Amino acid sequence: MIRSVQQFRPASLLLWSTLLGLALACPAHAGPPFVTDDPEPVDYQHWEFYVASQDAKVGGDWSGTGPHFELNYGVLPDVQLHLIAPLAYDVPPDGPRQYDLGDIELGVKFRFLQETNYLPQAGIFPLLEVPTGSQSENLGNGHWQAYLPLWLQKSWGSWTAYGGGGYGINSLSQGSRNWQFVGAVLQKQVLSNVALGAEIYHQSDSQTDFPNSGTAFNVGLVIDLSEQHHLLFSVGRSIDGPVDFQCYVAYQFTFDNSLFHFWNHLHGSEAP
């Protein structure tokens, strides 16, 4: 989703949605589990599948996804298709609890500049939020939204830094306004299969009736169980803003199109 400081305002599930630099000796992980994203798309004809949950406490209200499903596909070299389908929940301090389909997110990531020894890689990742969640139940925003970011990344040794910012279009209904986001992540590969990172980000107000601008941080961990199976975690809160606590946890499965060829061959060999 267009995951941001204001994502955990009831009726909003919006910016948490991911490098391999020329100077980097080992793979780095970016995007999830952080709010700030990166410019690197999924490799051509490769897939990423996530089962994840993001949760936050704002005042006495808990809201988030439980779970959401994310799918990314490298449809062309340097081009990635993106989908998130969330099951959203909202638990206010007073009133009924809600749980149902949230707003679906669609996107395309395009890397237009490759990383070199002197220049960062760069890409855009426009996102579209489809109003499939119920606004009356505080599970969706109630109207179409878009986010237009630019992301940069540079790697050296076991370190990777990435970040950028963008403009959110959210002014299609009364009480909403367009917003801006900027964020940065610093990450280190501490073991061959473990990466640690921290981020800081800021977002301006997206709603006129709720002061949800602010600055927040997260610390995160990525563990590669194997080449295909990965665990991702992050936790943080606002430095100056409304979020008392936020966290992200996910299982990621990565594979390429050969998996479908194997499946078809397996079922073909079992046919009478």
Q: What is the pLDDT of residue 9?
A: 29
**Strand, helix or coil for residue 42:** coil
Distance CA(206)–CA(203), nearest Å, equals: 8
- Burial of 220 by CB count in 10 Å (0-12 exposed, 13-18 middle, 19+ buried)? buried
Q: What is the pLDDT of residue 77?
A: 97
Best CA proximity match to 233, nearest among 249, 245, 218: 249
Q: What is the pLDDT of residue 56?
A: 94
Distance CA(243)–CA(159), nearest Å, equals: 29
> pLDDT (tens digit, 9 = 90+) per residue, 193-223?
999 999 999 999 887 666 678 999 999 999 9
Best CA proximity match to 186, nearest among 156, 213, 166: 156
Q: Who wins on pLDDT, 30 or 140?
A: 140
Q: What is the pLDDT of residue 205?
A: 84
Q: What is the pLDDT of residue 59?
A: 86
Q: What is the pLDDT of residue 31?
A: 76
pLDDT band for position 265 (50/70/90)?
Answer: low
Q: What is the pLDDT of residue 176?
A: 80
**Strand, helix or coil for residue 131:** coil
Domain 5-270 sits in CATH 2.40.160.40? yes
> What is the average per-residue pLDDT within 96-101?
95
Which of these ranges, 3-12, 196-205, 235-244, has the smallest mean pLDDT?
Answer: 3-12
Distance CA(65)–CA(55), nearest Å, equals: 6
> pLDDT (tens digit, 9 = 90+) per residue, 161-195?
999 999 999 866 677 889 999 999 999 999 999 99
**Strand, helix or coil for residue 270:** helix
Which residues on adjacent β-strands are paired with residue 140? none
Q: What is the pLDDT of residue 24?
A: 25
> What is the average per-residue pLDDT within 63-69?
95
Give the DSSP per-residue string, 71-114: EEEEEETTEEEEEEEEEEEEE-SSS--EEEE--EEEEEEEEEE-
Q: What is the pLDDT of residue 170?
A: 86
Q: To 5 degrees, how large is the angle CA 10–CA 134–CA 82?
A: 85
Global pTM reads 0.85
Mean pLDDT over the full length of the chain: 85
Amino acid identity at 96: P
Q: Most distant CA pair in the chain: distance in Å? A: 65
> pLDDT (tens digit, 9 = 90+) per residue, 115-151?
999 999 999 999 999 999 998 898 988 889 999 999 9
Q: Taken in order 188, 15, 137, 241, is the CA torsion positive or negative?
A: positive
Which residues on adjacent β-strands are paired with residue 80? 74, 109
Distance CA(134)–CA(80), nearest Å, equals: 29
User: What is the residue extent of each domain of the chain?
Assistant: 5-270
